[in-house]
């Protein structure tokens, strides 16, 4: 196990800050994001202020504002990362 000065609060707050920035960049209110993500606006507000949210709701927000592929890639080994197609053209090319 690697030593780190980061803790779970630091990381959850970083996710909240990142997604709040994406929400504002997309010019979405919390209410508009709530409609898009199916996460209640009150939960989004709490998340943006405290970093506290369920993992499922985090994924729903992330999916609404960014690509789940970016999170998924964190779970893959280096060999798996290079094997996944990055475009529909690569998928179609491999099927032929």
* pLDDT tens-place string over residues 20-73: 999 999 999 999 999 999 999 999 999 999 999 999 999 999 999 999 998 898
pLDDT of residue 11: 92
How many separate domains does the chain show? 1
Model's pTM, two decimal places? 0.74
pLDDT of residue 91: 81
Q: What token pair was written down for 31?
A: 């209410």
74 domain residue, yes or no: no
88 domain residue, yes or no: no
pLDDT of residue 2: 72
92 domain residue, yes or no: no
pLDDT at 96 over 60: no
Model confidence at 3, in pLDDT bands (50, 70, 90)?
Answer: confident
Helix pair 41-50, 8-25: axis angle to 10 deg = 130
Query: How many C-beta neighbours within 10 Å does residue 37 have?
Result: 21
CA distances from 19 to 41, 63, 72 (A): 14, 10, 16
Cβ atoms of 65 and 26 closer than 8 Å: yes
75 domain residue, yes or no: no
What domain range is 37 assigned to?
A: 8-69
């Amino acid at each position: 196990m690697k030593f780190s000065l980061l803790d779970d609060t630091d990381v959850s707050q970083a996710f909240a800050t990142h997604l709040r920035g994406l929400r504002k960049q997309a010019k979405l209110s919390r209410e508009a994001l709530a409609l898009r993500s199916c996460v209640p606006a009150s939960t989004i507000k709490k998340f943006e202020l405290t970093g506290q949210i369920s993992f499922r709701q985090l994924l729903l927000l992330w999916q609404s504002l960014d690509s789940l592929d970016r999170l998924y890639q964190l779970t893959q080994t280096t060999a798996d990362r290079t094997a996944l197609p990055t475009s529909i053209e690569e998928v179609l090319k491999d099927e032929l």
